[in-house]
Every structure is written in C-alpha cells, then in structure tokens.
Amino acid sequence: MSSILSKVKLPYLLLLPGFLFLFTFFILPIVNLAQTSTQTPIADGDTGQYEQTFRFANYIDAFVENREQFARSFIFAICATLLALAIAYPLAYAIAFKSGRFKNILLVLIIAPFFTSFLLRTVAWKQILGEEGFVVPPLRTLGIIGESTTLTSTSFAVVLGMTYNFLPFMTLPLYASLERIDPRTMEASGDLYANGITTFRRVTLPLSMPGVVAGTLLTFIPAAGDYVNAAILGNPNSKMLGNVIESRYFRIVDYPTAAALSFTLMAAILILVTLYIRKAGTEELV
Amino acid sequence: MTKVKDATIPTIPAQARLSRWFGRNLIRIYAFFGFTYLFIPVAYTFAFSFNDSGKSNLIWKGFTLDNWQNPCGAPEICTALGNSIKIGLLATIFSTILGTMIAFAIGRYAFKGRSTSNLLIFLPMATPEIVLGASLLSLFLVFQINPGFWPTVIAHVVFCISFVVVTVKARIASLDPRLEQAAMDLYANELQTFRRVTLPLVAPGIAAAALLAFSLSFDDFIITNFNSGTLTTFPKFVYVSAARGIPAQANVIGSAMFFLALAIVIAGQLISKKTKINK
Amino acid sequence: MVDVSSATRGDLRLTRITKTYGDFTAVDDLSLTIPEGSFFALLGPSGCGKTTTLRMIAGLEEPTVGSIHLGTTDITTKRPYQRPINTVFQNYALFPHLTIFENIAFGLRRRGIKNVDADVNKVLDLVELPHLAQRKPTQLSGGQQQRIALARAIVNRPALLLLDEPLGALDLKLRRQMQIELKWIQREVGLTFVHVTHDQEEAMTMADTIAVMNEGGIEQMGSPADLYDNPKTAFVANFLGQSNLIKGRIEGADGDNLVVDLFGQKISMPKSRSHAVDSSIYAGIRPEKFRISLVGTPTRGNVLTGGHIEEVSYIGVSTQYQVAMPWGQELMVFEQNDDGVPPFDKGDQVLICWEPNFTFALRGDEDVEAGTEVAPDDLDEDE
C-alpha cells in the first residue's frame, strides 16, 4: 500500500473529501449568494420570485437604507471587543501568572459557564437586568438610576450581552499567549530597573500581542454579525445588521437585499481584519 | 561583639503592609470578581430550575424538585433536546473525520497549495454565522431542498470542520517527528507507525476537537435557525419561548448539561494528570 | 519481516556517498568501511555531515549519489524498517504513550516475535533497570531514559547499532560513567556500534576506530592513537587535542630522517611521519611532548632556542606554559607536575626540546587554524 500512496499524492487524497464538502457547502453557497444579490423582483410575480438582472445598485440601495444598522453593528462589535479585552486580559493574566496550582481548575472555570446554552444565559441576563431582577431595584433605591430607566431593551444591555457571550473567545487566546511568556523575562526587566507598570508596558504586553490579535479577531468577527443579543436584550432602535438580514430572509422575503447586505458585511469585516492584521503584524493565525 | 538577639527587626507599619498586600493581590481580587461575573447567569439559571413556576419562569414562586424529576414536562422540550443531540452527534462524527484528515494533510506534508488550503480553512471561521446560514439556505432553496434535519447537519459540519482542523493541527505540531522515525527504525512500516505511534499520540487532540465540535453544534442558534425549518432544537426552543417565559425544565436541562460537561472536562484533566506522575 | 540472518550481516560499506540539499552539500563523496564487531566513531564539529551520514545508514535519509552495503546486501534504497539496523536517538525518542516494557518490546513485536518477555527482561537486566518496566518514559530521569533507549535498540540484536550523540544531554559525571558502560556493553553483546559525536575525548575513550569528518568528508581515519600521534591534516591535528604547528622547510635527508629548518633553527624528524608533498611544511609537536629547560642546562633531541615564558597556568596535574619564540609565535607546553620541581616563572629565558620521533609534518599549504574553532554545543542539529 505504501508504494502506491507515495508521499506526493497522499496529502491531496486526505484533503479531497473535506475540501469537496467545503466547496459544495461553503464556496458554492457564497457564490450563489453573490448571484442572488444582483437579482430583482419579477414584475407581477409572487413574493419571493426573483430574476437575475445583475443589478449592482442593489448593494447601494441596501447600504443606504440600512446604514444606521451597519454603523451600529460595527460600533457595538468594537465596544464589545474592547470591553471583553479589558475584562479578559487581567483575568488571563491572573490565571497565567498568579494562580499557582489552581491553574487548571481556573481554566476549566473560564470555559465552564459556556456549557450552559448561550441562549439560556442571554435570557438569564434579560431577567437579571429586568424589572424583577436583583440589579435594577437596588440601583433604583440607591438613586443611581431613575424610576423610568430600564436596563433591558437598551443598547447598553445588548453590548453587555455581547461582551459576556464572547468572553471565552477573548480569554483563551490571551491566556495561551501569556502562558508562553517566560516569567524570567519579567524578572529580568525588574532587575534592569523597570517598575511593575513599565515591565508590563514594555515586556509583557508586546510579548502577548499575538494573543491580543487572535482574541480580538475571534471576538469581533462573530460579534459584528450577531443578532441574537440584539433580539433578546435590545429594542427596535438597537437593531443590528444581523437582525435586518434575518428579517429580510424570513419576514419580508427580500432575498437580493439580504444577500447584498450579507456580502457587504463580509467585505467590511474582511477589510477591517486585513488592515488590523497588517498593523498588528501577526501572520500565522490558524 | 553585638549579640544578634539584641538587634531589632524593623517592622513595617500596618498601613503600608496593607497597601503592599493589596498591590500584590490586586489582580487576584479582580480575577475573583471576574469569575463571579462569569457565573452569575449560570447560577441564576440553576437557581430558577428549582422554581415552582408553571409555564412562565419569570418570578420566583417557590422551591420545588418537580422540574428535576420531570425534565420533559414542558411540551416539545425533549423533542428539541433529542434533535439537538442527534444533530450534534452526526455533525461531530463527520466534521471530526473530515477535519482530522485535513489537519494531517496540512500539518504533515509540504505540498503545493498548502498555504491556500490554510486560508480556505480559515474562511468559515471568519465568516459571520448569519452569512453561513443564509447562503446555505439560499443554496438549498435553489435545489428545492427544504430546510430540516439533514440540511442542519450539513450546515453544522461546515462551521465545525475549521475548528477541528485547528485543534488537531495544534496537536500534530507538537508531535516529535523523531518518534515516528524511531518507530520505523524499529521495524514498523508506514501503516504500523501511524497506527501504533502517530494516532495514539494525536488522539487527545482529536478527542478535544470532537468535544469542541459537539458543543459548538449543540449550542448553535443562528445557522440552525436558517436551516432547520420546522425542526426544533434546544436553542431554538429557548429562543422561541423567551418571549412568553422559558419553562423551568429548560433551566434543568441547561444546568444538567453544565454539570455533565464540567464532569467530562474534569475527568479528562484527572486522566491526563495520572499519566504524568512527577518522579 | 526483517531478515537479520547472516546474509545481512558483515561489514558496512559506504561507497562514494554524496548528499545534497539543493545547493548545500552535506556529505561529499564519502567512502568508508566499518568492520563488523568494532566500536566505530564518527567525530567532527557541527555541520560536518556526521549525523547526515548516520541517518543515511539508518535509512532515514536517502543518499543523492552512492551506495550502502551491509555484507553482500545492497541496502541503499531499503526503508528503515527493512534494515537490520537500530538507532539510539539524541533525545532518546522513547514512545511517551507506552510503558518501558512496551517501548523495548516494540521492535520485537513488529518483527512478529510472540514471546518477548525473556528478551526484554534480559536487556533490562543488562542496563540495570528491571524495576522500571511498568513506568512511562516521562517518569524517568535523563540517564535512565538514555539507557532504556539503548536497551530498546540492543534487544533486536541488529547487525549495526547507531548512536547519535546519545550522551549529549547528560551531565559530565554521568556522561563519563556512560562512556565506560557503553564500551562494556558493546564488548559483552558483540554488536557493531557506530557512534556519532563532536566530543573528541568521548570518541577517543570509546572507539576502536575513529573517522574524523569535516565539511562533508573524512579527513583521516584510524585508531585513536594513530590519529593523535600522527595526524595527516591541520584539522585533525587541532581538533584532536592541541598541536603546535611551526612553519618550516625540508632541507635534506639524513638516512631515515629529514632535516628541517624552522626559522633558522635545525631539527630532525622521521621521514615516515611527514605528509608533505614538497619542501614547504608545518612541523607539528604536541604540547605535552615539549620539555622546557633553562638556558645553559644540557639538552637532548631537537632543541629550539631563544624563547621566553609569556604565561604560566598551574592546573594541578600539569602546568601549562606559553613560550614566546624569536620569530613571533607562541608555543604551548604542558609539563606534568610529577617531580616536585617548582614551575618556571614568567620571563624566564628557556630552551624547548623534544624527542624527534614525536614530530609530524603537515603540508605547507594547510590552514593552520582549521579545527581550532570552538563550536557551540549544539544539541539539536540535523547536519
């Protein structure tokens, strides 16, 4: 057998089934989506019937009509990513350097909450931040928020939900990167007259950049296209692009617009990601 | 000669001691709050699984074990759970097999098109779920395939493959090539080397990948929503019930999944610890 | 199944082996015969091609040009598992997921042998680690792992046992101990050992025959004594121990001896120990062969005058001197501290003398610095 499967052919054989599958069910659908995006409704036809007219103006229409949701999606995603970074970095740092023999337990505890269905967790936040939860009433009593302000059905809640849900995607790459740093480099820094903050700024942070890049990408990309958090924790004014696409597919049955929006979203993400990677300089992501 | 006993050890004033302790442990304190924050919704979900709630689990009504004793009490919930598990198992099997093969190809061999392959694997991870789900739905509609069970399985395999490849590839990368050389040096041909040395050593990575694939599949909502049509899965069930109030049985199932997964991970940790006894 | 019968035993013969990687030539037209049953060392600095040569013998690399024979069998294109040759790897390469017992039994099982217990236990006794049979490799110390790696190879009674710098990761004391043990095991078991190392002391301690390699080829091959006493090239002279190489001219012959002029001073040396091709030579003398005496004391043998002591280093067993000669060169002298005579002082005017038979002569066009660089201890090179 080994004489037949020479070293040259074997990798291609191994790739074949998987790539065939991905080609059929990933590449082809996206190509199909592209050709859907330039269609227009058939005059006098039923809802949901379209014909190919190569109308590239679909993109412009879609973008203009939904620019608010576009902007919101990216703003929310960036906010959530930054918040997640702020929360996850110290957490990852604590596990990597300050946890001693509890390291493995803590790692498990970081991922553990995510064994509960993410929908259950998001709904839980809705109820916790809601009128009958244990957050709003005390805040009202303390006078921090007024009688009429609610925490749910707000953009604030949406971003909070997104931050929470994508936290492990930020924490784990950060941890992996921090863990690889030889603690003796930080000791050496102290030996060379740098205080704690300087050591962090000049030694730890730069060395952990690959983790920061990976974490922010793994958080930002799904966040930009999310709509579940907005649906559960938001209100009609906090709709994200994902909500628009979903409603175009299922309620309004406007496939070309939905397709155009999807592509624009993907393109925007790809551009941002490429710029970010160029600036941050990490090559090997996968 | 001064007696050492007479020398006084300088004491640090209490206030300075406190601030020093604080500075050293600031991060630990922060981490503690961080973990608490992570577990709030989980604890809430768990607590409310004991709520004597009837249909709507919004306000605490009373403690009861009924829900735990009768987890399938709410209509459709166990059908949904069953579907999620079935889809999860199938998606895991297919994506693990396909993904492992790809991981070996990319991780082991230098061939033309290797970097393109790497990029192709990265694409599904970089595509927003909504685009993955919507595009697949479009394709199915073109071929007049109705959304349902198998389209959902296929959709899940698509997004799971990349994660499997990444996980297994990482494990393969940590494999010392000299071990396989040693095996061949000791009379094992290529197939025997793979079976007796390579595969056992990569197995933990494959297991981790399978676990990851299953949890991603089980928890998926967006892609499933687009491709499952009238079929309910557990996440879909929760989403739909969110408006009127999720039955406490959902909390039971969610909490049970949590403890089960926790048990599996801890067991895995203990097993790997056992095979690494320090001398 | 692998044939370990007599047809595939015998001397190992490398014929005109060349290995290139693109533009880089790792091994250059190398020919070598390793006699059956000997302890053979391939000695050389990092990058000289010794590990590549070893891997070609094992079958882990294929030569670009040339052939390899074991006895009468051509094994050049045979896969590693088809050769009755086993390797002890530099980092031991023990299978982490198998017990020590199964590690050792691995080769036997692949060869289809059913009852492995007797053989495995015998070899565990040989390396004195029978109590570790059920442990896993990660639970063993470096020295123990090394011995198990050896056991795993020996148990198969291969025609050839290859050792790729197996002692590199051990600390000095353990290394010295293992050198003696390996030599003993080789004699006990009677296998042919081929040992790759960059440590010349190790090679000289263990091997019957040493091949000194440099830049893909063999500089010189012979017994440790031959190589040390009568090096043919500057590389060998400098790599094995240390040498004083003094530029000179052959002036004439005197019976079996040559008369050599060194910067105006005349010495004599045996004709048979000259490897020069013309009259331009480097005369070589090992530092321990020199004797220093104060000017005016009687001398015998060859004499060099006009030197004075630049540096004195007392090392306990010996005292090392750097003696500055009138022509600007500093010669090294090692004097044993075995006669209670106090050492010389810096600045003393001295004579250097030595037995003419200890002189060797190298070609005048040799690179005098060859073999003197201190190579970094590179444990993980793949040359």
Computed from CA positions of residues C192, C197, C202, C204, in that sequence, does the dihedral angle turn out positive or negative? positive
Mean pLDDT, rounded, for B213-240: 90
Between chains, do A2 and B191 touch, taking CB under 8 Å as contact?
yes
Confidence of residue B1 (pLDDT cuts 50, 70, 90): low
Of all residues in chain C, the one with the smallest CA distance to B178 is C93
Q: CATH assignment of C6-229, given 3.10.129.10, 3.40.50.300, 3.20.20.70, 3.30.70.3190?
A: 3.40.50.300
3 state SS of B188? coil
**C-alpha to C-alpha distance for C227 and C204, rounded to whole angstroms:** 9
Between chains, do A227 and B130 touch, taking CB under 8 Å as contact?
yes
- B115-124, B185-194, C88-97, C159-168 — which is least confidently predicted? B115-124
Percentage of chain A exceeding pLDDT 90: 11
Between chains, do A258 and B134 touch, taking CB under 8 Å as contact?
yes
**C-alpha to C-alpha distance for C282 and C368, rounded to whole angstroms:** 8
Q: Answer whether B200 touches C (CB < 8 Å).
A: yes
- By CB atoms closer than 10 A (0-12, 13-18, 19+), residue A156 is middle
C253-295 per-position pLDDT tens digit? 989 999 999 999 999 999 999 999 988 999 999 999 999 988 8
User: Taking CB atoms and an 8 Å cutoff, what residues of chain C touch B275?
Assistant: 136, 138
CATH 2.40.50.140 describes domain C242-363? yes
The residue among C170 and C42 whose pLDDT is bigger is: C42
Please check the confidence at residue A145 and state whether its pLDDT lies above 50.
Answer: yes
- Inside any domain, residue A5: no
C19-40 per-position pLDDT tens digit? 999 899 999 999 999 989 999 9
Greatest CA separation found in chain B?
A: 101
Q: What are the φ and ψ backbone dihedral angles of B107, each rounded to 5 degrees?
A: -80, -20
What's the domain range around A179? 68-280
Instruction: Return the exposure string of A158-197: e unless at least 16 CB atoms fall within 10 Å of the residue's CB, then b.
Output: bbbbbbbbbbbbbbbbbbbbbeebeeeebeebeeeebeee
Please name every residue paired with C320 in a beta bridge, in sequence order, or none if there are none: C313, C334
Confidence of residue A281 (pLDDT cuts 50, 70, 90): low
Between chains, do C93 and B176 touch, taking CB under 8 Å as contact?
yes
∠ Cα B170 B105 B156 (to 5°): 70
Q: C-alpha distances in angstroms, C103 versus B174, B179, C3?
A: 20, 11, 21
CB distance B70 to B129 below 8 Å:
no
Computed from CA positions of residues B186, B188, B190, B193, in that sequence, does the dihedral angle turn out positive or negative? negative
Of all residues in chain B, the one with the smallest CA distance to A132 is B59
- Inside any domain, residue A15: no
Q: Look up the ipTM and state it.
A: 0.81
The total of structural domains in chain A comes to 1
CA distance C80 to chain B (A): 5
Please name every residue paired with C11 in a beta bridge, in sequence order, or none if there are none: none
**C-alpha to C-alpha distance for C217 and C211, rounded to whole angstroms:** 10
* pTM of structure: 0.80
User: Taking CB atoms and an 8 Å cutoff, what residues of chain B touch A123?
Assistant: 238, 242, 246
Mean pLDDT computed over every residue of chain B: 85
CATH number of the domain encompassing residue A131:
1.10.3720.10
The residue among C316 and C322 whose pLDDT is bigger is: C322
B221-232 per-position pLDDT tens digit? 999 999 998 899
Label each residue of A88-151 as H, E or C.
Answer: HHHHHHHHHHCCHHHHHHHHHHHHHHHHCCHHHHHHHHHHHCCCCCCCHHHHHHCCCCCCCCCC
**C-alpha to C-alpha distance for C346 and C350, rounded to whole angstroms:** 11
Structural domain boundaries of chain C? 6-229, 242-363
Please name every residue paired with C354 in a beta bridge, in sequence order, or none if there are none: C302
- Inside any domain, residue A74: yes
